[in-house]
Amino acid sequence: MSEKICPRCGKPSKVGMKYCMYCGASLEKKDDWFAEEKVVISDFEPVQETIEEPLGVEEIPEDIKTQLELRTKLEEIIRETSTLTGEIDKLMEGLSGDISIEEYKNEIKTLKNRVMELRREREEVEKLIKPLPLEQLSRDKEELRERLDKLKGVYKSKEITTETFEKLRKEYESEFDEIKKKHRIEKDRVENWIVKLEKDRKKIQEEIELLYARYKTGEVTEKEYQKSKEELKKQFNRTQTSLENFRMEIRQWG
């Protein structure tokens, strides 16, 4: 089947789709929502134009929010490290006529120091990141499968009696069924959170367009516009990162 590659996240979508099924970016043109001159709302819109939030959606628990924030922080660190490394590489290519050798050395030193700080931050953040519930339940299921396989192997080799085998088999299978049940419930929770986050993202997009309109009509100053826009961009990025993490969790562990 032919596919289109998303310019933002690099994942494939079917030909004919206007927006990426994973991150919502436009597949028809470059995502320029950061441009100062205009706000391109179409680049924000998710695949579904109308998103209905399921009734009674549970709020994302604080421990999961913390893990999502850590993943967002990690993404920011990786992004900044990549940007600074690129700047260092450009400076290493040769001196610019606009700065002295001393200024050139100081700038490289400053950038390298920041990269070192970011690497230390990354190590600390990675230590705090734990598996999300769906991933942990999937791993627990796999562990029980392996345990059952080993039990069958031990029984076939006649190292244990039939009574012992049956007792442990029932125990492991009971645990396995319980984990499967929890896994289905957790998958439903994550899918509902995805819908909720898509709705939140759409609201942010609408706020961005409204803010831009207020700025262009003179209701808000450029300073107010820039400040509010930066905050909305941060909210959008946090929401987008949470969506990507939940979607990845569903793809890998659902």
- The confidence score (pLDDT) of residue 27 equals 64
- The confidence score (pLDDT) of residue 13 equals 65
Q: What is the pTM of this model?
A: 0.61
Average pLDDT on 62-78 reads 89
Domains in the chain: boundaries: 32-253
- The confidence score (pLDDT) of residue 23 equals 58
Nearest to 42 by CA among 33, 51, 54: 33
- The confidence score (pLDDT) of residue 30 equals 42
- The confidence score (pLDDT) of residue 32 equals 42
Q: pLDDT by residue (tens digit) across 166-196?
A: 999 999 999 999 999 999 999 999 999 999 9
- The confidence score (pLDDT) of residue 3 equals 60
Q: pLDDT by residue (tens digit) across 74-122?
A: 988 999 999 999 888 888 776 555 667 777 788 888 999 999 999 999 9
The tokens describing 168, both together, are 């442990």
Quickly state the pLDDT bin for 223 (edges 50, 70, 90). Answer: very high
Percentage of residues in the chain having pLDDT higher than 90: 56
